């Protein structure tokens, strides 16, 4: 597998892009990967290796306010003063256009993890993009009333500390309960994976685990809220979807919220495969059984991409 990085200029922000390609240069399809909150695209090299082994090129960028797209530590966890969500969606579309220019009109798939799954669904519902297949990993699912409570709290914190403020209260509200199911806790991030080495790598990574700004929470939770409606989900393209996660992932309500989202999507006539891995936590591509997860994901994408 070959790996290269590049900076893609945008509206005042240069987006850091990873591209992985098969060693033999024979590319039969493309997969765009959208990473999650408080991490970066470089963490998906293991997934990319599996996809490249099947002849698929992989493009993944660091979202604004993340990874090497952030110009420094103060920019981590910040999308923008206002309407940062639109800027994030525009970045995704620009990276995809750049990749399509390089690789041509190959069949392509979109894969989003956690926050990336929210970005992916918004991208598809608003841009008119039509991939051959879509994979959603570690999705929040159908949350309901808790989002309205969260939005109210975010507004309070925005008034108190501003758009660039970093609220320990918001962070505790969003993440504080996740570790409780895995007591006694070794780290604050045991909920990510059963693999202690993977958790420790996340903890050591200076580009992971940071405190998001209040404006990022406003943008992300607002995006999640729109995904709770059949009207919004009804705009999604009629293509195959794979929803995967761990059945102990607290982000998806240990599968319950994910199952509710899949039920809503199927009711709208969408073709959705659901796989909840027994004992799995939030990051299935970094779990103890990640080789099986990567293999199954690669196989599913390969089977559903047009030839």
What's the pLDDT tens digit per position in 126-145? 999 999 999 999 999 888 76
Rounded Cα–Cα distance for residues 220 and 80 (Å) = 12
**For 228-253, how does the pLDDT look when each residue is reduced to its tens digit (9 = 90+)?**
999 999 999 999 999 999 999 999 99
Q: Identify the band that residue 254 occupies on the pLDDT scale cut at 50, 70 and 90.
A: very high
Average pLDDT rounded to a whole number, residues 62-91: 96
277: pLDDT strictly greater than 90:
yes
Rounded Cα–Cα distance for residues 261 and 165 (Å) = 32
What is the secondary structure of the chain as a DSSP string? -EEEEEEEE-SS-EEEEEEEE-TT----EEEEEE--TT--GGGGHHHHHHHHHTTEEEEEEPPTTSTTTSSSGGGTT---SS-HHHHHHHHHHHHHHHHHHHH-S--EEEEEETHHHHHHHHHHHHH----SEEEEES-----THHHHHHHHHHHHHHHHH-TT---HHHHHHHHTTGGGGGPSPSSTTGGG-S-HHHHHHHHH-TTSSPPPPHHHHHHHHHHHHHTTSHHHHTTS-SS-EEEEEETT-GGGTTTHHHHHHHHHHHHTT--EEEEEETT--S-GGGSTTHHHHHHHHHHHHHHHS--
Average pLDDT for the chain: 96
- According to the model, what pLDDT value does residue 139 have? 96
- According to the model, what pLDDT value does residue 145 have? 67
Q: Identify the band that residue 190 occupies on the pLDDT scale cut at 50, 70 and 90.
A: very high
Average pLDDT rounded to a whole number, residues 35-50: 98
- According to the model, what pLDDT value does residue 60 have? 98
Average pLDDT rounded to a whole number, residues 73-93: 96
Lowest mean pLDDT segment, chosen from 29-38, 58-67, 89-98, 170-179: 170-179
Rounded Cα–Cα distance for residues 76 and 71 (Å) = 8
Rounded Cα–Cα distance for residues 123 and 70 (Å) = 21
ω into 179 cis (within 30 of 0): no
Average pLDDT rounded to a whole number, residues 25-37: 97
Rounded Cα–Cα distance for residues 161 and 217 (Å) = 13
Q: Identify the band that residue 223 occupies on the pLDDT scale cut at 50, 70 and 90.
A: very high
Q: Identify the band that residue 107 occupies on the pLDDT scale cut at 50, 70 and 90.
A: very high
Average pLDDT rounded to a whole number, residues 248-276: 97
Give the rounded percent of residues in the chain with a pLDDT score beyond 70. Answer: 99
Average pLDDT rounded to a whole number, residues 102-127: 96
- According to the model, what pLDDT value does residue 251 have? 95
Domains of the chain and any CATH numbers: 2-304 (3.40.50.1820)
């Amino acid at each position: 597998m070959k790996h290269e990085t590049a900076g893609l200029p945008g509206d005042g922000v240069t987006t850091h892009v990873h591209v992985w390609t098969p060693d033999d240069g024979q590319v039969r399809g493309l997969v765009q990967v959208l990473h999650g909150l408080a991490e970066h695209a470089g963490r998906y090299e293991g997934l990319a290796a599996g996809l490249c082994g099947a002849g698929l090129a992989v493009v993944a960028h660091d979202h604004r306010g993340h990874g090497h797209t952030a110009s420094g530590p103060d920019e981590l966890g910040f999308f923008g003063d206002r309407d940062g969500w639109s800027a994030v969606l525009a970045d995704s579309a620009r990276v995809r256009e750049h990749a399509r220019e390089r690789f041509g009109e190959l069949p392509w798939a979109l894969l989003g993890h956690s926050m990336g799954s929210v970005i992916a669904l918004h991208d598809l519902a608003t841009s008119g993009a039509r991939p051959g297949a879509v994979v959603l990993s570690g999705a929040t699912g159908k949350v309901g009333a808790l989002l309205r409570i969260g939005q109210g709290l975010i507004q309070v914190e925005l008034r108190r500390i501003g758009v660039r403020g970093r609220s320990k209260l918001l962070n505790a509200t969003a993440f504080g309960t996740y570790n409780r199911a895995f007591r006694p806790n070794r780290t604050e991030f045991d909920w990510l994976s059963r693999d202690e080495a993977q958790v420790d790598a996340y903890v050591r990574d200076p580009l992971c685990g940071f405190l998001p700004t209040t404006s990022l929470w406003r943008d992300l939770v607002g995006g999640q809220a729109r995904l709770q409606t059949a009207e919004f989900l009804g705009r999604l393209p009629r293509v195959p979807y794979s929803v995967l996660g761990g059945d102990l992932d607290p982000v998806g309500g240990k599968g319950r919220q994910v199952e509710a989202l899949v039920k809503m999507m199927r009711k709208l006539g969408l073709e959705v495969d659901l796989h909840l891995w027994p004992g799995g936590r939030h990051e299935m591509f970094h779990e103890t059984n990640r080789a099986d997860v990567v293999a199954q994901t690669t196989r599913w994408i390969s089977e559903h991409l047009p030839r």
